[in-house]
Structure formats: structure tokens, C-alpha cells
Amino acid sequence: MKGIWQSLPMLNLLWILPLLVALFIFDAQRRRSLIARLSALPDIQTKLLQSVNKTARHWKKNLILLAVALIIIALARPSWNPTRREINRKGRDVVFVLDVSKSMLADDLKPSRLERAKIAIQDCLDIMEGDRAALVAFAGNAVVKCPLTLDYGFFRMMLDDVDINSVSRGGTMIGDALRTVLNDAFDDQDRQFKDVIMITDGEDQGSFPVEAAKKLGERGVRLIAVGLGDEAAGTSILTPNENGQYKILKYKGEVVRSRLDSDTLRKMVAETPGGRYLPVSTGNFDLGNVYLNLIASEEKRDLEAQSVELYEEKFQIFLAFALIFLVLESLLGDRKRVSTAAALLLLVSLPAWSQSAYELNELGNQRMDQEDYAGALEAYGEAKEKSTEPARIHYNTGLVHYRQGDLEAAQNAFHQAWESGRTEGSEFEALCKLALGNSWFAEALRQESGQDLQKAIEACTKSIQFYREATERNPKLKTAQTNLDKARLKLKKLLQKAKEEQQKQQQQQQEDKQEKKDGEQQKQEQQQQNQEGEEEQQKQEGEQEKQEEQKQEEGEQEEQEQQAPQPSEEGSEEKQEKELEREIRGILDREKENQRQRQQHRQQGGVPVERDW
């Protein structure tokens, strides 16, 4: 009879039994010491010894030990009588065709075209659920690196090993790669539910790719082509030398360039039902979104059934015997022992992980595959109530929230999965950390699109922390290392972008400050000009008043001369002397006025101007 322990770590509680034995021995010694002290009262000592039923006391202790042992065994959830159940899954067949020619080592896409393409396939694989995936590498010939499988871990391992040495010949034979897909990768079942995602950067070298694509279309296979590289200028080809270093390939002194042939790729996808061509060039591309938009929403077929072995749990038997032993122990003496009510309470309070919890978890998985997220959450919630080890159910709940875009709820669920799953081992802890890293990285992208760079940087920093913890717990988890590199690159870009934004703000502040300073200076100059104008006007008005007074004095003098009698010759000479004296006085006054004006202009920084009187 085959059996297992559903909660094997609970057997560690058996160390309680030696403690109970030690406690019973200590109690017996204490009793003997107490009776020995009563030796001075022999009558009382005799009565006490006669009242003790040593056999009953011995059995009472044994019954307690047996009951505790049975309760611990029940907590470990012993199970046997296995039955097998078939679980059917729905999905599509997706073959990734990856160009591994030497031109894929170009670094116009960081870190290189080949590594960027592998990262894109990893991203796509992270969101694939229920679809079988295969990997074909090609250059001058094509090789199936991973057959169609639901084991994404094995697929990732094979993808990590792909490089330019994965094929035996160089070149770019796209047609041969597609024929390899038809002959070796796909099975003969169903003429639909099949997709090919091809990533290439070169032009075909006479392998008749359009005809091969037409064969795909006749088999009901859809082709999605992703073109990398510069179509106009082309890309130089790197080749390794004897020292393992790469150099640019030349022919007759000229650099050999590989150019993307978009026209041929467009003709190829046109030959398949629903085919699409994505000219990425040297920009970024998200293969995960391509999968969600073009493949995940398509009709799926029944894949091979998965056989699951279910065990019938028998913890109730051990609890029943434990209850019987506790009842017998209480009947053997009048001392208060563990009562029957307490035993029944223990029986009721024991978490019952039964087949229904497993079935509810599987139901949640099926609903999640069908994108019935509300139903999946409901099933997972019921499963957690019936489970004593809900770590993986928390993890599945986080996946549902992640797909719904509720990143905060996803982070909480993944954290609960990590806290409650520490007994599951380091590999499960690494998966939880990876999921937390993915959710925080998605939060960083969301904040970046919302132009909140500070929150994006904080979220990206947290994702790096979780990715690093995932790699520490499971160094073989390549996805964590790949995502860690992506997060570091994204953080670098975010920091650079934030620095540029800060520089723009500082420059704008300086421009505003300079503009304000120029305005104040212009205002001061205008005020100075107005003040100088007012002073000039006042001076002109003063001179005009002085001239008018002088004219008035001259007029009055002429009038007096006309009214006076004609002077004698002697009086005439006297008059001439007065006129000469008046002219000299006027000349002196004008000279003083000119000096005053020159001094005033000199103080104002102007050029002295003598007034023409």
C-alpha cells in the first residue's frame, strides 16, 4: 500500500514526547520525595501509599503519550490509496524561430540583437499559460533546440544555451528554417491552432522563403515575423578570430553588410492566415504584448491530458484513536486530565486539507487559463480556507491580480506566498521573489508612462532588490538574472531622464531669473531717463524765464531812454560807457552760465555744450 505524508514537517513535533517522559519522571521523583518527608507520620504515609494505584497511574501516562503521538501523526496528514485523475488543458502550439547568424551580435540593440531577442522571448514566456512552446535556431541551417512542450523551465534552459555556435553553418536560410518547423517541430494534429514567431535581422540567401511560408499557410499555420536591424545602411557582420575576439568581416578589403529584407518578410506573412510583420529596426519591442494581442486571444485546442495522482487522507483515524485514549485516561482516575471536550475541540480546529482544496486550486487554474479572473479568485479564496499550506494558492492569486493589472494586490499576494511558503524550499522562495520583482517592474513602467519619474525610480529599485534576492536563492533561475539586467538598464535610463528633467527645470529657472533681472534693469534705465528729461525740461524753463526777464528789462530801459530828454555830448559818452559796461556784464554772465552747464554735464557723463547766446 503506497502512502505519503501531506505535511511531513509536522512530524518534527514528535520531540514533544521525550519532554513529556522527562516531565513524568520529574513528577514521580517529586512525589517520592514528598512521601519520604512524611516518614515521621507513619500512619499518614501508609494511607497515602495504600491509596496510590501504581498500575493505573502508569497506564494513564502511557495513554497520554499515545494520544499526543497520534495527534501529531494526524497533523502530518497521512494519506494512501492513490487514484489517478486526468486533467485536460487547452492551448495553442507556438514555435519561436530565432536567427543566430553572426550579424545578430551587433550592439545597435543592447546588449546585442541576439540577447535582446532572447530577452523578448523570455518576456513572452512569462505570460504564456497553457500553450506549448518550441524553439528553432537557424542561420545557414536550422536546428530544433526545444520540441513542443509545456515545461517552460526546460524551454528557458535551452533558450539560455542558444548562441551563434548553436548551428553548424553560417548564413541566413529563412526558407530552410520554416521547412524545419513544418517537418520537425509541429506534429500532424490539427491544421490550425499553430503559430510561428520568427525573429531575424538578415536577408535570405536563396532558400525560397516565400514558397516555404506558403506551405505554412496551407497547413493553417500563422507566421509573425519580427525584423531587426537597419534596412537602408545594413549591418556589419562580426566573426571570431583565433583568440575568441570578434572582428568585422571583410571581403576584398570591403566591409560585408547584412541588410534586412522587409519586402520579402512582408510577402512571407501575406501567405499565412492572419500573418503579421513587425519592422522593429533598432527600436525596442515587447514580444509579450504581441503574444497577448495576436495569440493568447485566439481559439485554443485540447492539448494532451495531464495525469495527477490524488491520495485519500486518513488523519481522521488517528484522531479517533487519540480521542479514545484521552477518554480512557480520564476514566482511570479522578484527576483533571485533558478532557473529552478539549479533544473534540482539537478535532474540530484541525485544518482539513482534503481533496476539495486541491480541486478548488485546480478549478482556479482552469478559470485563470480561460481569463475568468473573478471566478479564479473565488476558487482560490475557498481553497485557502480549506488549506493548511496556502503558499502556492497565494502565489496563484497574485498571478490573477497581476494579469488584471492590480499590481498592489498582486504584490500583497506574492508576499503572503513567500511568508507562508518558507518551508517549501528555496526554489519556491525564488519564484515568489521573481514575481514580486515583476510586479514592481510593471509598477515602474506604469509610473514612467504617468510622468512620475521619482515613483518609477523607487519601484524599479525595489524590483532590482527582489530580482537579486531571487538569484541568490536559486542561481539556476535564469529569468531572474535576465530580468535583473533589464531592471538595471531601465533604472539607468530613468535616472538619466530624471537628470535631464532636472537640468531643464534649472535652465528654465535661470532664464526666468535673467528675464526678471533684465526687466528690473530696463525699468531702472527708464526711470533714469525720465528723471534726466525732467531736469532738462526744468533747466530749459528756467533759461526761458531768464531770457524773458532780460528782454523785459531791455524793453523798459529803451522806453525810459525814449521818454528822457536828448543827452548832451558828455551825457552821450556816459551813456556809451554804461552800454559797454552792460555788454561786458552780459558776457561775464553768459560765461558763468556756460561754466555751470559744463560742470553739470560733466557730472552726468555727457558732453559739454556751450549755449549760443
Report the pLDDT value the prediction gives residue 226, as an integer from 0 to 100: 92
Residues 6+ apart with CB under 8 A from 176: 138, 141, 142, 207, 212
| Model confidence band, residue 185 (pLDDT cutoffs 50, 70, 90) | confident
Report the pLDDT value the prediction gives residue 215, as an integer from 0 to 100: 92
pLDDT digits (tens, 9 = 90+) for 311-328: 678 888 888 998 998 888
Nine-digit cell string for 497? 531622464
d(CA 320, CA 43): 44
Q: What is the DSSP letter of 181?
A: I
Q: How far is CA 304 from CA 84, 87, 182, in A?
A: 15, 9, 20
Q: Which of 35-49, 143-157, 342-356, 434-448 has the lowest mean pLDDT?
A: 342-356
* Residue 397 near residue 413, CB atoms below 8 Å: yes
Beta strands 93-99; 132-138: pairing state: parallel
More confident residue, 582 or 212: 212
The angle formed by the CA atoms of residues 165, 259 and 183, to the nearest 5 degrees, is 50
d(CA 383, CA 376): 11
d(CA 199, CA 148): 18
More confident residue, 229 or 435: 435
Is the predicted pLDDT of residue 109 greater than 50, yes or no? Answer: yes
CATH classification for the domain delimited by 90-302, as one of 3.40.50.410, 3.40.50.12780, 3.30.43.10, 3.30.70.330: 3.40.50.410
CA atoms within 13 A on the CB side of 416: 18
Q: Which of 111-120, 156-165, 512-521 has the lowest mean pLDDT?
A: 512-521
Number of other residues whose CB lies within 10 A of the CB of residue 157: 13
Ordered by start, the domain boundaries in the chain are 1-84+309-350, 90-302, 583-613
Is the predicted pLDDT of residue 344 greater than 50, yes or no? Answer: no
Is the predicted pLDDT of residue 432 greater than 70, yes or no? Answer: yes
Report the pLDDT value the prediction gives residue 45, as an integer from 0 to 100: 43
Q: Which of 335, 255, 321 is nearest to 70 (CA)?
A: 321
Report the pLDDT value the prediction gives residue 602, as an integer from 0 to 100: 66
* Residue 480 near residue 470, CB atoms below 8 Å: yes
Number of other residues whose CB lies within 10 A of the CB of residue 577: 10
* Residue 48 near residue 38, CB atoms below 8 Å: yes
| Model confidence band, residue 353 (pLDDT cutoffs 50, 70, 90) | very low
Report the pLDDT value the prediction gives residue 93, as an integer from 0 to 100: 87
Beta strands 257-258; 3-5: pairing state: unpaired
Report the pLDDT value the prediction gives residue 508, as an integer from 0 to 100: 85
d(CA 51, CA 31): 13
The angle formed by the CA atoms of residues 260, 266 and 267, to the nearest 5 degrees, is 115
